[in-house]
Amino acid sequence: MPAPDFTALAVRLIEWHALHQRSLPWRDAPAGERDAYRVWISEIMLQQTRVETVVTYFERWMARFPNLDALATADLHDVLKEWEGLGYYARARNLHKAAQRVMADYGGQLPATRAAILDLPGIGAYTAGAILSLAYAQAEPILDGNVKRVLTRLFDIDRPINDPAVLRDLWALALALVEAAPAGQAGISNEALMELGAMLCTPQNPRCLLCPLAVHCRSAAAGTQAERPVMPPRKQTPHYDVAAGIIWQGEPYHSSVLIAQRPADGMLGGLWEFPGGKRDPEDVDLPACLRREIDEELAIEIEAGDLLTTVKHAYTHFRITLHAFHARYRAGTPQAIGCTDWRWVELAKLDQFPFPVTDQKIIAALRLYA
């Protein structure tokens, strides 16, 4: 197959995109002319999250934090509450930090240079390229999961996708493609590439007959679409049993319950939870695990009671089974030893706090019996 004509590829992508692009709330202006704040928020939300899920969150976020100033001056508690359910909460914390930096250092306008935008918390090479091309029409490349898949098939790359040399090659190809786009249309070319991966060049059963790049696609010519990209071997995902306590100050369902705030710099940082932790080998059973964890985290004595519910959840690198037990507060003054803060809260007021998905399921189970 002859060397790729990047100009022809870019033109075909742009023409296809004009006819087939999806209508999404963050696409309120042509690519290259959009509000940088809206581009930034949408791209951060779309990381590791399906478009269908993001639409509702994006619209609600924009109603609450319509601009950088509104986000920068908001309390982190409120930011995390709006993010509740999207997962990967470091994204929300970094948005808040970056907004404050932009207000302080750039007069409330996201910078339009690669070096400056990469210096902001939570912004990497992909997000920088998205903002610079979609908001400022700069010929900056993007490389998300969809684009990686399209490019590895288009050029029939037969090496593992996580190989550093392959990633360098993919960035180079993405740059060549965006630089070949007609003047002022770099953002449209980038968006078309992402859209192609989402709509046609899908992980399973790619719709090659409808693809505007099919005549240029080396995988299509070789019949290797299903083998691209080459994925690294999957590692076994560890599993942990976790005990959580619904610690009642008095009678269950007729008194306040104890919640704790996770450390800001850790996993799920800043969120609130029913306190507890991972079972250790020396714990004879889950109630023993719960008593130990509560002593280590809050320095109080509890009496573990009946199991309320069991929640299974998968994170990026491990899985848990969370066992939520009713518990009775017995002695001691709670201290923030293994947490940032703690509160006694009425069951009806738990909605005022941002919780991880697992703890939201515990709350739902509690309300079945309240």
Q: Up-side HSE of residue 113: CA atoms within 13 Å toward CB? A: 4
**Cα dihedral sign for 42, 48, 54, 58?**
negative
Name the 3-class secondary structure at 120. coil
**Cα dihedral sign for 28, 29, 30, 31?**
negative
Cα(228)–Cα(212) distance, integer angstroms: 18
> 10 Å Cβ neighbour count for 4?
17
Cα(69)–Cα(269) distance, integer angstroms: 23
Cα(173)–Cα(350) distance, integer angstroms: 49
Cα(194)–Cα(188) distance, integer angstroms: 10
Cα(243)–Cα(327) distance, integer angstroms: 11
Name the 3-class secondary structure at 129. helix
CA angle at 367 for the pair 361 and 370, rounded to the nearest 5°: 150
Q: Kindly list the catalytic residues.
A: 43
Contacts of 319 (CB under 8 A, 6+ apart): 237, 238, 239, 240, 312, 313
Residue type, 59: E
Q: Which single residue is written with the structure tokens 């630089």? A: 179
Cα(167)–Cα(320) distance, integer angstroms: 32
Burial class (CB in 10 A: 0-12, 13-18, 19+), 309: middle
Cα(144)–Cα(43) distance, integer angstroms: 10
Name the 3-class secondary structure at 329. strand
Asked if omega into 281 is within 30° of 0 (cis), the reply is no
Burial class (CB in 10 A: 0-12, 13-18, 19+), 369: exposed
